[in-house]
Structure 1
Amino acid sequence: MTSGSAAGSIVPSGNFDDLLAANRTYADTFDLAGFDGVARAGVAIVTCMDSRIDPLRMVGLEPGDAKILRNPGGRVTEQVLVALVLGANLLKVDRVLVVEHTRCAMASASESELQRRVGEATGTDATWMFLGAINDQRAELVESVHKIDSHPLIPSHVKAGGFLYDVDSGLLEQVV
């Protein structure tokens, strides 16, 4: 929680002290200063926000190598397409991995079930909000790759692939 001072400024609460301490340790060995932000490996990864996924390490990359785009389910949304247009045209992205995963909450319940669960958790009706349940991950991956391949602002040399990541083995399976 934050509180305002007499002058109306916001005073941090201390809820993030552990993370800020870890950041100071991270900054001690930070080596990306001056980096221009291009994807050094030419890769963009669209994946789920699930904390079991380490998008860079799962494909042998390091910070600076790829653009990482995360959302519930790893869906190729309009905003993801904007990021891919920018990545492909300005940041040297020439390969896109769309990665969904096993045991995903977005693929294990219907839209109405997810809305019901959110509503119960919040005590507020959530039926008005589209959450993006995925009925068929393999079909979703095919559709996602098609969205990328057919986008008029993503150059034809950019290659997209759809993958299913097994959260129990760490292995990727190429679906499309």
Structure 2
Amino acid sequence: MADFDDLMSANRTFAKDFRYGGFDGVAAAGVALVTCMDSRIDPLGMIGLVPGDAKIFRNPGGRVTPQALEALVLGVHLLNVQRVLVVPHTRCAVASNSEAELRERVAASAGQDASWQQFHVVEDQVAALAEDVAKVRSHPLVPDSVLVGGFLYDVDSGLLEQKV
């Protein structure tokens, strides 16, 4: 259990001043964000929000997967989501490597064959972003009143650029 002592200690410090107890879980700012799992991204900070303001769904590449759509539908109908941002980023591993390259890198790290693992690489981020925004906009359970935009986050400048 000692493997997590540093994180558990940090949690106890966090909990001393915890101020989100009793929160109802809705997106106070009416925002949902689909973005990458990349640790260089601060999803709330990059758009001036704080915990409780938005629903966040993260995955490699920031793609609108069936699971992301499920989260967005729930957010729209149960959690006050009125605006959706889809946000991939620059220098993303799944957008700058081929499927074969990622499999090779993972295999080297794992010390075993990874040729069976799919990583869903993105060959054209802007085209994929347009496709993902269209998926959300055209979903039968996402009403036209929900605003959906596609943005590219620059991990070196911290700036968002709307692409869709």
How far off is 1:85 after superposition? 0.6
Q: Does residue 151 of the first structure (1) align with residue 128 of the second (2)?
A: no
| Residues 1:39 and 2:38 are matched in the alignment | no
The separation in 2 between residues aligned to 1:32 and 1:83, in whole angstroms, is 21
Q: CA deviation at 1:80?
A: 0.5
Q: Which residue of 2 aligns with 1:95?
A: 83
SS at match of 1:15: helix
- TM-score, normalised relative to structure 1: 0.91
Aligned partner of 2:73: which letter?
V
For 1:143, give the aligned amino acid.
Answer: E
1:58 and 2:57 equivalent?
Answer: no
- Separation in 1, partners of 2:7, 2:111: 30
Deviations 1:31-74 (A, max 9, x none): 11111000000000111111110000000000000001111110
Q: Pick the aligned partner of 1:85 from 73, 76, 83.
A: 73
Higher helix share: 2
Letter aligned with residue 37 of structure 1:
G
Residue 12 of structure 2 aligns to a residue whose secondary structure is helix
Matching residue of 1:4 = none
How far apart, in 1, do the equivalents of 2:66 and 2:76 lie? 15
1:1-176 matches, cutoff 5 A: 13-176=1-164
RMSD of aligned residue pairs (Cα, Å): 0.8
Q: Which moved more, 1:118-127 or 1:63-72?
A: 118-127
1:108 CA displacement: 0.6
Measure, in 1, the Cα distance between the counterparts of 2:115 and 2:141: 34
> What secondary structure, in the 3-state scheme, does the structure 1 residue paired with 2:51 have?
coil
TM-score by length of 2: 0.97
4+ long deviations beyond 2 Å: none
Bigger Cα Rg: 1
Which residue identity lines up with residue 29 of structure 1 in the other structure? D
Inter-partner Cα distance in structure 2 for 1:127 and 1:75 = 22
**Partners of 1:96 and 1:124 in 2: CA distance:** 39
Cα distance in 2 for partners of 1:78, 1:154 equals 14
Question: Bigger relative contact order, structure 1 or 2, given CA contacts below 8 A and separation 6+?
Answer: 2
Distance 2:39 2:150 in 1: 20
